[in-house]
C-alpha cells in the first residue's frame, strides 16, 4: 500500500469502507502488483501454522490456507473480519485486539502485513507486539512490514518493542521479496524469540 496513507485506522475507515478496501487491492492487482508477496516470504519459513495478526479482510490468511498452511486470522475491526469470514467461512477468524491477545494456540509464524503496527493505536503498539510474540511456537518467526513515515513508528521504536517482548532481529528487507534494506521508507522485519520476557 503506497500513496497518500491516512495516519490511523479510523481515518482509513472514514475514507474507505470495507468494500473500498477490497477494491483497492483489486485495482493494485490489476495494475500488476502481486497481492501475495507477503505469503511468498512467509512460505520461505515452511510454517505449518501461521497467525495472520491484523488480518483485515483475510488477504494473507486465505492465500496461505490455499497453499496448505493452517491459519488463524485476528483483527479488532469486526467489519473487516466479517468480510474475511464471508470469503472463507471454513477458516478461523477472531475479533480481538492484538494488545493483550490470549489464544490457546502457538504458531510457527506470526505475520503482520499491510501496515498493521502503525495502525495500532500509538499507546498500544508495544502491547500489540508483545501480544503477538506470546503466540509464537518455540523457534517461531515474527514478521512485520510497514511504511516508515513521519508520525509513524520508526525502526528503533519497533525493535525496542520487539526486544521488550523477548525478540531479536534476524533479518530486515526493503520489500516482501527480500530486496536488501538500505534505509528506505518501507521495511520488512523478521524477529525470532531469544528470551522469555519477564512477564511471560
Ligand X SMILES: C[S@@+](CC[C@H](N)C(=O)[O-])C[C@H]1O[C@@H](n2cnc3c(N)ncnc32)[C@H](O)[C@@H]1O
* Helices and strands per DSSP (H, E), number in the chain: 8, 7
Least CB distance from residue 60 to ligand X, whole Å? 6
In angstroms, the CA 157 to CA 186 distance is 15
Q: Is 120 in the site for ligand X (CB under 6 A)?
A: yes
Least CB distance from residue 39 to ligand X, whole Å? 10
DSSP letter for each residue of 3-55: SS--SSHHHHHHH--HHHHHHHHHHHHHTT--TTHHHHHHHTT--SEEEEET-
2-41 positions binding ligand X, by CB under 6 A: 9
18-22: Cβ within 8 A, 24+ apart: 18/57, 18/79, 18/80, 18/82, 18/83, 21/56, 21/57, 21/80, 22/57, 22/83
- Closer by beta carbon to ligand X, 80 or else 109: 80
Which span sits near ligand X by CB under 6 A: 55-63, 102-110, 149-157, 185-193? 55-63
Q: Is 91 in the site for ligand X (CB under 6 A)?
A: no
Q: Is 76 in the site for ligand X (CB under 6 A)?
A: yes
Q: Is 161 in the site for ligand X (CB under 6 A)?
A: no
Among 63, 71, 114, 136, binds ligand X (CB under 6 A): 114
Which positions touch ligand X (CB under 6 A)?
A: 9, 54-56, 59-60, 75-77, 80, 97-99, 113-116, 119-120, 124, 128
Amino acid at each position: 500500500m503506497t500513496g497518500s496513507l491516512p495516519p490511523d485506522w479510523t481515518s482509513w475507515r472514514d475514507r474507505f469502507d470495507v468494500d473500498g478496501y477490497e477494491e483497492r487491492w483489486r485495482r493494485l492487482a490489476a495494475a500488476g502488483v502481486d497481492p501475495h508477496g507477503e505469503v511468498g516470504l512467509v512460505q520461505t519459513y515452511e510454517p505449518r501454522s501461521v497467525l495472520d495478526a491484523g488480518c483485515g479482510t483475510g488477504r494473507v490468511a486465505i492465500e496461505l490456507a490455499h497453499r496448505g498452511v493452517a491459519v488463524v486470522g485476528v483483527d479488532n475491526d469486526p467489519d473487516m473480519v466479517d468480510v474475511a469470514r464471508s470469503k472463507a467461512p471454513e477458516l478461523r477468524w477472531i475479533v480481538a485486539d492484538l494488545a493483550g491477545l490470549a489464544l490457546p494456540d502457538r504458531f510457527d509464524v506470526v505475520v503482520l502485513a499491510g501496515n498493521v503496527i502503525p495502525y495500532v493505536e500509538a499507546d498500544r503498539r508495544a502491547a500489540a507486539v508483545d501480544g503477538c510474540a506470546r503466540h509464537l511456537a518455540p523457534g517461531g518467526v515474527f514478521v512485520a512490514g510497514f511504511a516508515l513515515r513521519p508520525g509513524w513508528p520508526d525502526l528503533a521504536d519497533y525493535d525496542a518493542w520487539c526486544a521488550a517482548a523477548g525478540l531479536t532481529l534476524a533479518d530486515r528487507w526493503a520489500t516482501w521479496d527480500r530486496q536488501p534494506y538500505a534505509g528506505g521508507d518501507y521495511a520488512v522485519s523478521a524477529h525470532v524469540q531469544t528470551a522469555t520476557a519477564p512477564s511471560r
